[in-house]
Structure 1
Amino acid sequence: MENIYILMLVALVILAVADIIVGVSNDAINFLNSAIGSKALPIRTIMIVASLGIFIGAVYSSGLMEVARKGIFNPGEFYFDEIMVIFMAVMITDILLLDFFNTLGLPTSTTVSIVFNLLGAAVVMSLIKISADETKTLIDLGSYINTEKAITIISGILLSVGIAFSVGAIVQWVSRLIFTFQYERKMKHFGAVFGGLALTAILYFIFMKGLKGTPYYKDMKGFLEGNEMYIIAGGFVIFTLFSHFFQKITKKSILLVVIGVGTFGLALAFSGNDLVNFIGVPMAAYHSYEAWSAIPGTDPTTFSMDILSKKVPAEPLLLFIAGAIMVITLWFSKKAKTVAETEISLSRQSETHEKFKPNMLSRAIVRGTSLLSRGMSSIVSKSTQERIANSFQKPEAALINKDQSLEAPAFDMIRASVNLMVAGVLISIATTMGLPLSTTYVTFMVAMGTSLADRAWGRESAVYRVAGVLNVIGGWFFTALAAFIAAGVVAFLIHLNKEVMVPILLLITVALLIRNYLAHKKKSATIIDPKRLKKSESNTVQGIIAESADNIKNVVYRTNKIYTLVLKGLATEDIKALRKGLKGVEKLESEIEDLRDNIFYFIKNLDETSVRGSNFYITILAYLTDVAQSLDFITKKSHKHVNNEHKKLRFNQIRELKEVDNKLEALLTEIESIYENRQFEKIKSITDQKDSISEFLNEKIKKQIERTRTEESSPKNTTLYFNILLETKDLVKAIMNLMEEYHNSYRKE
């Protein structure tokens, strides 16, 4: 019997290491996004500062393991056997849930995950105990669960979301009103005061949150507590003077120091306090095993776990190891970069590729906000509106395309400093008041609030950004629900038979982690598809014509492949082939849409002498869109026919469609060869085939009309066949128009 508990303890240690890795990958966004997004400091400097914060916070963390032992449930009501089941279920579920969110690139809360995992597993184990005791009912569930503490944690987390967003928006709005986007000049006059305020707030946060619970805090407690106002006032004076002399001597902005110190402070607080989310459960399990094994021969099913109610300090060696693992993960985790990209993209000042698609709720929120804004405008005087608008006037910058905008800073140093300062202050206040909250939620919502106030969510991007925020928030609620249910289910399974279920669940966990790792690696691989459509980067007519040739060639090639695939899938009723065709068309349409979205930047970047090239480029894109739309229509109609289990096409229809496919394949292959070899003088031979191909398709239509009048018995088949032929005519027409436009422009050059 003892062997299974040793196995569970070893498994918990291994899971703890894995949990640190996936946890840091998710929470790295908390302390990296402001520094990385503003690009105020070199990435190597940012990583070193964050690493120091993480390591120091982890090594000097102590007394923070109470949540895992008694924060959610009353340990004295459970026996050693039951406690080990709860802890095992929690760790398995926690690591899978966090890794799932990391793979998606969505930030979630390790605090919420561990709290609801503990709650779910403890509730299920309590229900098992109640069902086995005839003297107890569901009303007794309250004696097992620390309901007051659980409700306090949950309500604190929910409340922090709204407060963080609102405070972040207000502070950023006021900051931008004072400094504007041309803040360099204003910083010379007000930079020292702003730097003093920001550094005081951040360093107060470091002491009150980052170092609270460490051995050093006990020595400082008598001095800090009760003298907060004096410390803040003194700190403000000292740091204001420091900011003044720093700017005078170095000729650099104090915002660089604010961002560096703020990043260090958040990293320190994260590792010093959120470490409980990763190793609190395994350490509680170790102390439980230590207490049980100290009395040989004790029955694990009757050994009470009252010992967990006592405060047990963390092991220094384990904290050192945990800190080292966290730092290594920060440097090498690709998933951490993926999660950070999500928040940065949602808060980016400039327009760029939007990661999320708008939904009904995001549209309703944006529409409602726009109406409210217009209503407020009627109340505020025009002169006041103009003064405010001038403060939010962005400097003229060189217009670049969306891909290149990803390399530019996502936002300026004013917003980065406000992000760090407000997040630090809010976490400090909550800590002082004894309110639990999620550092992930606070930092994310502050960043979203400052983005809104900074007008980063304009008419061009608002619905996408709001949809992204709603997706992330929805993911938070999903985390709580999924953690509660999944941990409960796993606890129930382990309780049925530990010897069988623990190895099985561990194997499943390993398999899922490997699968997610491979899926993320494949997704993040930077292999460029040679057939992918490319944006025009030339600013001359000749360059535009030459670059468009590759796009035309690739569209023709992909059209040929998809058309053949769809007709074969239709003939053989192969639904997988038709689905593959749908995906191919969807990808093609998406790439063409990206090219159309870039037209604004394309025209702005043209030379004065090459403006004529814009008309050619727009016309070419219009014909490429027509090709994709015809292909989309044929593919969707064919997929719908087979998916709905309608009658298979008749033999004559399949044979004739094969003839059409062969004819079109020969045409498209010839076009591809012309563009591949740059033999544009041969385009005339392609356009000369226009009438013959049209007549060929008309003949097929006439034959189907005759069949319909005499022998055809399926209305669905007839409709589908006509749809394919008529849309193929439109497809050929679009291709011929494309050839004529390119040929005419090529000859002029």
Structure 2
Amino acid sequence: METFYLFLVIFLAVLAIFDLSVGVSNDAVNFLNASIGSKAASFRVIMIVAATGILVGAALSNGMMDIARHGIYQPQYFYFSEIMCILVAVMLTDVVILDIFNSLGMPTSTTVSLVFELLGGTVAYSLIKIANDTENILHIGDLMNTDKALTVILGIFTSVAIAFIFGAIVQYISRLIFTFNYRKTAKYFIGLFGGLAATAIVYFMLFKGLKSSPFLAGPVADYIFSHTGKLVLYCFIGFTVLMQVLHWLKVNVFKVIVLMGTFALALAFAGNDLVNFIGVPLAGYSAYTDFLAQNGTTTPDTFLMTSLQGSAKTPWYFLVGSGVIMVIALLTSKKAHNVVKTSVDLARQSDGDENFGTSPVARVLVRVCSNASATIMNVVPVPVKNWIDRRFNNQEIILEDKASFDLVRASVNVVLSGLLIAVGTSLKLPLSTTYVAFMVAMGSSLADRAWGRESAVFRITGVLSVIGGWFITAGAAFSICFIVTMIIYLGGAPAILVMIALAVYSLIRSQIIYKKKKHKEAMQDEVNTTVAKLRTASNPIEALNLFRQHSREELKNDLQFAAQALSAAVEGFTHENLKELRHVMASIEEKKEHLKQVKRVGTLGVTQLDRDIAIDKGLYYYQSNDFASEIVYSIRRLVEPCKQHIDNNFNPLDEIQKKDFTGMDDRVISYLNRCAEMIEKNNYEIMPSLVDESNQLVVGLTQLKKEELKRIQGQSGSTKVSMVYLNMLHETINVVNFACNLIKVSKKFQME
């Protein structure tokens, strides 16, 4: 029996390592949002600063571990076997939920996951214990720490409103002080602002955090905590002078503040949220060692876990080791960058492609807020209103290269988020760092007028989607952990093994879905890169050259894709490979979406050209895109009946049909690849021969159609097969014709 529970403890440790990796991917948005969004430093420097903060924060996080030990359940009423059942269910649920949200690119709360998973598991086992209590002496209030649970839940969700409101207010005041052209006004206030920001960071991140650190004890700690007020004053004076001197030395103080804030947020994340990843496994380890210490005097089903009522004394090497794992995960995780992108896009200052659509609730909120704003502004005196508008003149905005917002807003985001999170940490309340950091960023972007009339409804929909995801997290965490706990209780060890297998399957499947999603995003990034280049073109000639280069790349890729898809479709149908046909259909759907995005480049490209040539060149671009779309649609119309035919297990092509069509298909694929090569080289000398070849291919395919019609008239072969075969020939003819038209239009677009 001890061996089985040792296995569970080891399994919890393995899940903790995985949870640390997944959790950092999810929570990277908390401390990377501001620095990455504002481009305060190079990506490498930002990562080094964040990694250092994580290591320090992990070492200071000891005080939060009590949440997993006795924050939700009353351990003195639960036996060792029951506690282990709850803890295993919590960890199984946690890794799956977090990985799913990471794959979707949606920031969710590891704190909410932990709290509601513990609630779900505790409620499940409490109901079991009450149902088995023949003496009716147990009640739900005895088994659950309801007061603490309610405090935690209220703290988590209250932080949403508090963070948003404070983010909006502080950013509004900061923008009035510094304006968007902060270089003009910084000389008057930068020393004071930097001193306040740096002092706040040092006070909350270090003085508060050090209280629970196992590394600081003795006379030094006593002196710091007994003279905190005086030290804070000295820090404020020193940092104010330092920031002013740095400004005089032409150092961008806002960048210094953002990097300090990034360090502080990373420290706060590790200090506050480390419990979410290792708190449960450490509680299980503590329970196991306490059980062994009783030297076999009781059994797992009779040993009450009263020892978990005491505070956690986590060894420093567990904390530092966890910090190292989180740093490695941060530096290597692509999902972390995916989650950061969502929050940065919602907070960016400029318009652009929106990741979210619109919703009825968002539309109503926009109208209500617009009307309320108009009413308020009617009351404000005109001189005051004009002065405010001058302070918010975003035409003077100073942005780093490819930044989404400026350094003033980034400074507010990191400092305010760090303060709010640190307050929760010092009170030992597991505030959600995700909620706080995300909502501060949203509040500051609203106050900064980043949500204009063209983007507000999309941004609000995005924020509501993220917040809705948080509530879904809470409900899913509670429900799934409740069910898993029940299954483990009823099924015992076999059920645990089954749950482990399901969790592994879910994680593998999630990874596959994520890779497909990243492939789509890579295609979108190509379009966005072209758009950015066109927008920054210095003159119409440069824009036309970029436009032509983009068209060559796209058309080459389209023709190569058509050749590959046609080859795979024919191969899949002739060999009755349903999986291959499904894969071709999926790739065609992706290509269709990509071609829709490419049309947007055409619209922007035309606006960058001289008026004399814009109409002709724009027309040729759109025609080439239309022909490329028709090629893809033709292949789709070819593949779909083939897939249905194989899926229904109908008769395959006969040998004559296979031989005739395969030979012609090879010629068509070769033709498409040579068209792609010609466009890539931008040398159209061989185009007449390609046009002649297209005519020959059409004649050959038409001849195959006539021969098939003769076979049908002679009533030889399967009618269903003949219908599919004739459709393949017809759509292949379309592919050839559209490809021929495409290269003709491409020549007109590329040539002077």
**TM over 0.5: same fold?**
yes
For residues 153-199 of structure 1, give each alpha carbon's deviation from its aligned partner in whole angstroms, at most 9, with x where no partner exists.
22221221122123212322332233222111111122122223322
Q: Which residue is 1:483 aligned to?
A: 477
> Are the equivalent residues in 2 in contact too, given 1:25–1:339 (CA < 8 A)?
yes
Counterpart secondary structure, 1:266: helix
When structure 1 is superposed on structure 2, of 333-342 and 269-278 the one drifting more is 333-342
For residues 414-437 of structure 1, give each alpha carbon's deviation from its aligned partner in whole angstroms, at most 9, with x where no partner exists.
111010122123234545677542
**Letter in structure 2 aligned against 1:91:** M
For residues 585-644 of structure 1, give each alpha carbon's deviation from its aligned partner in whole angstroms, at most 9, with x where no partner exists.
3322333233322346545666x6x97367425532344235415744883798499869
1:612 aligns with 2:606: no
How many angstroms does 1:266 deviate by? 1.7
Q: Which residue is 1:92 aligned to?
A: 92
Q: Which residue is 1:597 aligned to?
A: 600
Hey, what's the Cα distance between the residues in 2 that align with 1:657 and 1:375?
A: 70
Alignment of 1:301-700 (within 5 A): 301-351=301-351, 354=354, 356-358=355-357, 360-361=358-359, 364-366=361-363, 368-370=365-367, 372-373=369-370, 376-377=373-374, 380=377, 387-395=387-395, 408-430=402-424, 436-496=430-490, 498-506=492-500, 509=503, 513=507, 535=530, 539=542, 544-545=547-548, 548-559=551-562, 562=565, 579-599=582-602, 602-603=605-606, 612=613, 615-625=616-626, 627-628=628-629, 631-632=632-633, 635=636, 639=640, 670=671, 672-677=673-678, 680-684=684-688
**Letter in structure 2 aligned against 1:410:** S
Hey, what's the Cα distance between the residues in 2 that align with 1:365 and 1:631?
A: 36
Hey, what's the Cα distance between the residues in 1 that align with 2:733 and 2:508?
A: 49
Hey, what's the Cα distance between the residues in 2 that align with 1:521 and 1:571?
A: 29
How many angstroms does 1:82 deviate by? 1.0
Alignment of 1:11-30 (within 5 A): 11-30=11-30
For residues 208-232 of structure 1, give each alpha carbon's deviation from its aligned partner in whole angstroms, at most 9, with x where no partner exists.
653343365973686479x6xx887
When structure 1 is superposed on structure 2, of 74-83 and 259-268 the one drifting more is 259-268
For residues 89-119 of structure 1, give each alpha carbon's deviation from its aligned partner in whole angstroms, at most 9, with x where no partner exists.
2223223332333333332222111111211
Hey, what's the Cα distance between the residues in 2 that align with 1:64 and 1:584?
A: 48
**Letter in structure 2 aligned against 1:289:** Y
When structure 1 is superposed on structure 2, of 580-589 and 296-305 the one drifting more is 580-589
How many angstroms does 1:724 deviate by? 10
Hey, what's the Cα distance between the residues in 2 that align with 1:62 and 1:234?
A: 28
When structure 1 is superposed on structure 2, of 731-740 and 62-71 the one drifting more is 731-740
Alignment of 1:149-168 (within 5 A): 149-168=148-167
Hey, what's the Cα distance between the residues in 2 that align with 1:140 and 1:330?
A: 44
TM-score under structure 1 length normalisation? 0.80
Q: Which residue is 1:188 aligned to?
A: 187
Question: How has the CA–CA distance of structure 1 residues 650 and 319 changed in structure 2, closer, same or farther, with 3 Å as cutoff?
Answer: closer
> Are the equivalent residues in 2 in contact too, given 1:567–1:658 (CA < 8 A)?
no
How many angstroms does 1:40 deviate by? 1.6
> Are the equivalent residues in 1 in contact too, given 2:397–2:406 (CA < 8 A)?
no
TM-score under structure 2 length normalisation? 0.80
When structure 1 is superposed on structure 2, of 660-669 and 462-471 the one drifting more is 660-669
> What is the percent sequence identity of the aligned residues?
38
How many angstroms does 1:13 deviate by? 2.7
How many angstroms does 1:669 deviate by? 5.1
**Letter in structure 1 aligned against 2:432:** S
When structure 1 is superposed on structure 2, of 255-264 and 93-102 the one drifting more is 93-102
Q: Which residue is 1:402 aligned to?
A: none
When structure 1 is superposed on structure 2, of 734-743 and 591-600 the one drifting more is 734-743
> Are the equivalent residues in 1 in contact too, given 2:268–2:421 (CA < 8 A)?
no
**Letter in structure 1 aligned against 2:591:** L
Hey, what's the Cα distance between the residues in 1 that align with 2:530 and 2:666?
A: 27
**Letter in structure 1 aligned against 2:341:** E
Counterpart secondary structure, 2:339: helix
Hey, what's the Cα distance between the residues in 1 that align with 2:731 and 2:176?
A: 56
When structure 1 is superposed on structure 2, of 436-445 and 317-326 the one drifting more is 317-326
> Are the equivalent residues in 1 in contact too, given 2:191–2:240 (CA < 8 A)?
yes
**Letter in structure 1 aligned against 2:417:** A
Hey, what's the Cα distance between the residues in 1 that align with 2:514 and 2:332?
A: 14
Counterpart secondary structure, 1:65: helix
Q: Which residue is 1:401 aligned to?
A: none
Q: Which residue is 2:260 aligned to?
A: 261
Question: How has the CA–CA distance of structure 1 residues 292 and 634 changed in structure 2, closer, same or farther, with 3 Å as cutoff?
Answer: closer
> Are the equivalent residues in 1 in contact too, given 2:346–2:459 (CA < 8 A)?
yes
> Are the equivalent residues in 2 in contact too, given 1:571–1:648 (CA < 8 A)?
no
Hey, what's the Cα distance between the residues in 1 that align with 2:707 and 2:453?
A: 53
Hey, what's the Cα distance between the residues in 1 that align with 2:135 and 2:385?
A: 70
> Are the equivalent residues in 1 in contact too, given 2:641–2:724 (CA < 8 A)?
no
How many angstroms does 1:78 deviate by? 0.7
Q: Which residue is 2:104 aligned to?
A: 104
**Letter in structure 1 aligned against 2:186:** M
**Letter in structure 1 aligned against 2:22:** V
> Are the equivalent residues in 2 in contact too, given 1:152–1:436 (CA < 8 A)?
no
> Are the equivalent residues in 2 in contact too, given 1:201–1:425 (CA < 8 A)?
yes
Hey, what's the Cα distance between the residues in 2 that align with 1:244 and 1:22?
A: 41
Q: Which runs of 5+ in 1 are unaligned?
A: 399-404, 706-710
Counterpart secondary structure, 1:73: coil
Hey, what's the Cα distance between the residues in 2 that align with 1:76 and 1:277?
A: 22
**Letter in structure 2 aligned against 1:80:** F
Counterpart secondary structure, 1:680: coil
Residue-pair matches, total: 728
> Are the equivalent residues in 1 in contact too, given 2:63–2:428 (CA < 8 A)?
no
> Are the equivalent residues in 2 in contact too, given 1:192–1:241 (CA < 8 A)?
yes
Q: Which residue is 1:708 aligned to?
A: none
Hey, what's the Cα distance between the residues in 2 that align with 1:725 and 1:526?
A: 31
**Letter in structure 2 aligned against 1:591:** H
Q: Which residue is 2:538 aligned to?
A: none
When structure 1 is superposed on structure 2, of 492-501 and 162-171 the one drifting more is 492-501
Q: Which runs of 5+ in 2 are unaligned?
A: 534-540, 710-714
Question: How has the CA–CA distance of structure 1 residues 254 and 374 changed in structure 2, closer, same or farther, with 3 Å as cutoff?
Answer: same
How many angstroms does 1:268 deviate by? 2.1
Hey, what's the Cα distance between the residues in 2 that align with 1:393 and 1:152?
A: 43
Q: Which residue is 1:282 aligned to?
A: 281
Hey, what's the Cα distance between the residues in 2 that align with 1:640 and 1:177?
A: 63
Hey, what's the Cα distance between the residues in 2 that align with 1:509 and 1:82?
A: 21
Q: Which residue is 2:222 aligned to?
A: 219
Question: How has the CA–CA distance of structure 1 residues 151 and 566 changed in structure 2, closer, same or farther, with 3 Å as cutoff?
Answer: same
RMSD: 4.9
How many angstroms does 1:368 deviate by? 4.0
Hey, what's the Cα distance between the residues in 1 that align with 2:400 and 2:106?
A: 19
**Letter in structure 2 aligned against 1:269:** A
Counterpart secondary structure, 1:419: helix
Counterpart secondary structure, 2:303: coil
Counterpart secondary structure, 1:380: helix
